[in-house]
């Protein structure tokens, strides 16, 4: 009787899961397993917010598997040892999994594949969490893409995606004698319960992902404009669901296909391709999480400003749009996409702080922390990566705030101490007359910080540093 093991990682769904589907079709017995091995993800093991999400996503997929008659086993790593042990316990002759492409995941998969081959166990692997494997697309010269627009143009010439796979209606029963750790044994949620805001903001799991996708479908017409306004729910908020594989990008395409003529669909499709581009860059340049892609920035004179960094992390810079974004991040594990760019630009350009410090903070606090996206986006804003913004592109946080949060709805939500300021002064309270501040009960330096730096001075200093670096020849 053929037995197949399905190795779950960041594909925590039953629908459009080719590894699971193949196992169900190929074997009479199917053993789903999640192997907890954070050390194998070093130097980028999941941060605190990601661990919270992982806990609830595992609980959801385990429940879905149980509802179909199966059982998700939970084991501890090392992965190759845990899977080898499970092969011995079950007599499995097939192990299936969906491929991941981060450098540490590739290493882990190779170790597992080698071990299984030595034992004579067949393996089948699949692409389930990308639209196109990152090694497929190349420039005409055969090199990896480093600029997004030609990458997206090249992708448009690929054949259409095949329809998503349906979830199995039933799963074979798993022997109750097989050992499984209780989910609580992984100690994924925080010991100090700071996660109430996350629980209020999110529904991890496949059902939550599908609900979020249906909501996007209903509001897609206005997506192209609404996605830039942080005071509205104009973004998809699908990123954590995609990262943990509760939803596949192919499912997204299929769900929204009937809206393909809308400008909103075109804008959202571009965001999906940006996600693919990020993985493409990381796959071909695996050192980018620690080193700039542009070698001219290898020795860039970033400034050590620990006090300012802490103020940025806590949302206490005195720059309202920056503080609102950082407080939203701490409270919900997420930040609006436009505000992510503004806060990152403030840290790297105005404050001159190393982009890696910001990337690490986002990695620990975002529920959608994704190594490829996090790296690409921080290097893009800092001006040292693929498709990098010119050095002179420095987001003015006040102008950005006035343009995209014109009525101050976002600022008032996350900065209640400024809620009574007239909108005209809300975006730059340091410029408000004393009587206006007094009438709004705002005391600079007491109940709301004074700005930690002068924006004009910070911009001028950034321009000088970046212009000098950009003028260097590539060697």
How confident is residue 407, by pLDDT bands cut at 50, 70 and 90? very high
Reply yes or no on whether the pLDDT at 159 is more than 90: no
Distance in angstroms (rounded) separating the CA atoms of residues 424 and 407: 9
Considering the candidates 363, 378, 380, 414, report the single residue annotated as catalytic: 378
| Euclidean distance between CA atoms 411 and 423, whole angstroms | 10
Q: Please, what sign has the CA dihedral across residues 422, 428, 433, 434? A: positive
Catalytic residue (choose from 271, 330, 417, 430):
271
Which residue among 81, 122, 232, 274 is the active-site one? 274
CATH topology of domain 130-162+207-284: 1.25.40
Active site residue 430: no
54 with 46: CB under 8 angstroms? yes
In the residue annotation, 377 being an active-site residue is answered as no
Please report, in angstroms and rounded to a whole number, the separation of the first and last CA atoms in the chain. Answer: 60
What are the CA-CA distances from residue 60 to residues 64, 113, 333 (Å)? 6, 28, 19
Catalytic, out of 265, 355, 380, 414: 355
Instruction: Give CB contacts under 8 A, 24+ apart, made by 305-311.
Output: 305/351, 305/352, 305/353, 308/351, 308/353, 308/452, 308/453, 309/347, 309/351, 309/353, 309/357, 311/449, 311/452
CA dihedral of 90, 94, 99, 103, whole degrees rounded to 10? 70
Question: Per-residue pLDDT averaged across 436-453, rounded?
Answer: 96
> Distance between alpha carbon 167 and the CA centroid of its chain, in Å?
25
Q: Is the pLDDT of residue 474 over 50?
A: no
pLDDT of residue 161: 87
Mean pLDDT over 407-428 rounds to 97
Beta partners for residue 444, in sequence order? 448
Smallest CA-to-CA distance from 203 within 87, 57, 313 is with 57
In this model, does residue 468 exceed pLDDT 80?
A: no
- Could you report the per-residue pLDDT of 23-33, keeping only the tens digit for each? 999 999 999 99
Q: Which of 81, 122, 255, 302 is catalytic?
A: 302
Instruction: Please say whether the dihedral angle defined by the alpha carbons of residues 122, 249, 167 and 246, taken in this order, is positive or negative.
Output: positive
pLDDT for res 391: 64
- Contacts with 21 (C-beta within 8 Å, 6 or more apart), sequence order: 165, 168
Distances (CA, A) of 164 to 16, 21, 87, 252: 5, 11, 29, 9
Q: Choose among 297, 233, 283: nearest CA to 130.
A: 283
Output the pLDDT for position 23. Answer: 97
Q: Is the pLDDT of residue 440 over 60?
A: yes
- Diameter of the chain by CA atoms? 82
pLDDT tens readout for residues 377-389: 999 999 899 876 6
d(CA 54, CA 12) in angstroms, rounded, equals 9
Which of the residues 124, 255, 337, 417 is marked catalytic?
Answer: 337
What is the rounded CA–CA span in Å between residue 349 and residue 365?
A: 22
Could you give phi then psi for residue 417, rounded to 5 degrees?
A: -65, -15
User: What is the pLDDT of the chain when averaged over all its residues?
Assistant: 94
- Please give the average per-residue pLDDT across 320-344, as a whole number: 97
Q: Is 32 helix (H, G, I), strand (E, B) or coil?
A: strand
pLDDT in tens, 171-187: 999 999 999 999 999 99
Q: Is the distance from CB of 238 to CB of 129 less than 8 angstroms?
A: no
The C-alpha atoms of residue 78 and residue 327 are separated, in whole angstroms, by: 37
Whether the pLDDT of residue 247 is over 60: the answer is: yes
Confirm whether 93 is a catalytic residue: no
pLDDT at 154 over 80: yes
Residue 360 has what pLDDT? 97
Distance (Å, whole) CA 3 – CA 29: 5
Closest CA to 166 of 104, 250, 43, 45: 250
What's the chain's Rg over C-alpha atoms?
24
Task: Give residue 66's pLDDT.
Answer: 98
Q: At what angle do helices 355-365 and 371-382 cross, to 10 degrees?
A: 150
Please write the tens of the pLDDT for every residue from 277-326: 999 999 999 999 999 999 888 888 999 999 999 999 999 999 999 999 99
**Active-site residue 355, yes or no?**
yes
Give 390's pLDDT tier (boundaries 50, 70, 90): low
Residues 15-26 have a mean pLDDT of 97
Question: What is the CATH class of 3-128?
Answer: alpha beta
d(CA 159, CA 189): 42
Domain boundaries, the chain: 3-128, 130-162+207-284, 295-469
Contacts 24+ apart (CB under 8 A), 209-213: 209/13, 209/238, 209/241, 209/246, 209/247, 210/247, 212/236, 212/237, 212/238, 212/241, 213/238, 213/241, 213/247, 213/251, 213/252, 213/255
Percent of the chain's residues with pLDDT above 70? 97
User: Cα(456)–Cα(442) distance, rounded to whole angstroms?
Assistant: 24
Q: How much is the pLDDT for 218?
A: 87
Q: 71-103 b/e with 16+ CB inside 10 Å = b?
A: bbbbbebbbbbbbbebbeebebbbbbbbbbbbb
For 196-221, how does the pLDDT look when each residue is reduced to its tens digit (9 = 90+)? 899 999 999 999 999 999 999 888 98
Q: Omega of the bond prior to 33 within 30 degrees of 0, cis?
A: no
> What does residue 33 show for φ and ψ, rounded to 5 degrees?
-145, 140
- Whether the pLDDT of residue 13 is over 60: the answer is yes
Residue 40: count other Cβ atoms within 10 Å of its Cβ. Answer: 18
Is residue 52 among the annotated active site residues? no
Return the DSSP state at 449: P
The closest alpha carbon to 408, from 392, 419, 394, belongs to: 419
pLDDT at 475: 34
Provide the CATH number for the domain formed by 295-469 in this structure: 1.10.579.10
Residue 55 reports pLDDT greater than 60: yes
Q: Enumerate helices (H) and strands (E) in the chain, giving the number of each.
A: 21, 5
Q: Is the pLDDT at 472 greater than 60, yes or no?
A: no
Q: Model confidence at 256, in pLDDT bands (50, 70, 90)?
A: confident
Mean pLDDT value of segment 98-112: 96
Residues in the chain: 475
Q: For the residues 421-433, what does the mean pLDDT come to?
A: 97
């Amino acid at each position: 009787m053929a037995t197949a093991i399905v190795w779950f990682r960041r594909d925590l769904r039953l629908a459009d899961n080719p590894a699971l589907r193949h196992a169900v079709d190929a074997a009479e017995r199917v053993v789903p397993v999640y192997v907890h091995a954070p050390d194998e993800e070093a130097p980028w093991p999941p941060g605190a917010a990601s661990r919270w999400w992982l806990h609830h996503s595992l609980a959801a997929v385990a429940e879905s598997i149980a509802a179909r008659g199966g059982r998700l086993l939970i084991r501890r790593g090392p992965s190759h040892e845990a899977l080898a042990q499970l092969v011995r316990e079950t007599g499995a002759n097939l192990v299936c999994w969906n491929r991941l492409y981060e450098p540490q995941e590739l290493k882990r998969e190779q170790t597992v594949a080698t071990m299984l081959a030595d034992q004579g166990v067949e393996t089948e692997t699949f692409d389930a969490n990308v639209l196109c494997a990152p090694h497929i697309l190349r420039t005409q010269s055969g090199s990896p893409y480093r600029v997004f627009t030609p990458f997206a143009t090249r992708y448009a010439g690929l054949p259409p995606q095949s329809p998503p796979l349906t979830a199995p209606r039933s799963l074979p029963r798993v022997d109750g004698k097989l050992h499984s750790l209780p989910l609580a044994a992984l100690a994924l949620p925080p010991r100090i319960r700071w996660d109430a805001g996350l629980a209020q903001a999110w529904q991890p799991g496949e059902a939550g992902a599908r609900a979020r996708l249906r909501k996007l479908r209903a509001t897609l017409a206005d997506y192209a404009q609404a996605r830039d306004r942080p005071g509205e729910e104009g973004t998809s908020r699908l990123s954590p669901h995609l990262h943990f594989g509760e939803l596949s990008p192919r499912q997204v395409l299929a769900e929204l296909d009937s809206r393909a003529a809308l400008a909103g669909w075109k804008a959202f499709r571009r965001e999906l391709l940006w996600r693919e581009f990020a993985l493409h860059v990381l796959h071909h340049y695996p050192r980018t999480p620690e080193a700039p892609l542009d070698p001219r920035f290898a020795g860039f004179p970033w400034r050590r400003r620990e006090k300012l960094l802490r103020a940025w992390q806590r949302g206490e810079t005195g720059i309202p749009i920056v503080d609102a974004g950082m407080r939203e991040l701490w409270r919900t594990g997420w930040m609006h996409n436009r505000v992510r760019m503004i806060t990152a630009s403030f840290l790297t350009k105005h404050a001159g702080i190393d982009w890696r410090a910001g990337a690490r903070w986002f990695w620990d606090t975002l529920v959608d922390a994704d190594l490829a996206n996090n790296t690409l986006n921080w290097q893009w804003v800092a001006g040292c990566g693929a498709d990098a913004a010119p050095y002179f592109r420095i987001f003015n946080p006040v102008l950005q705030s006035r343009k995209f949060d014109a009525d101050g709805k976002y600022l008032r939500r996350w900065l209640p101490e400024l809620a009574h300021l007239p909108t005209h002064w809300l975006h730059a309270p340091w410029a408000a007359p004393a009587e206006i501040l007094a009438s709004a009960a705002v005391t600079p330096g007491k109940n709301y910080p004074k700005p930690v730096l002068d924006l004009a001075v910070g911009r001028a200093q950034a321009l000088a540093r970046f212009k000098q670096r950009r003028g260097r020849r590539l060697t």
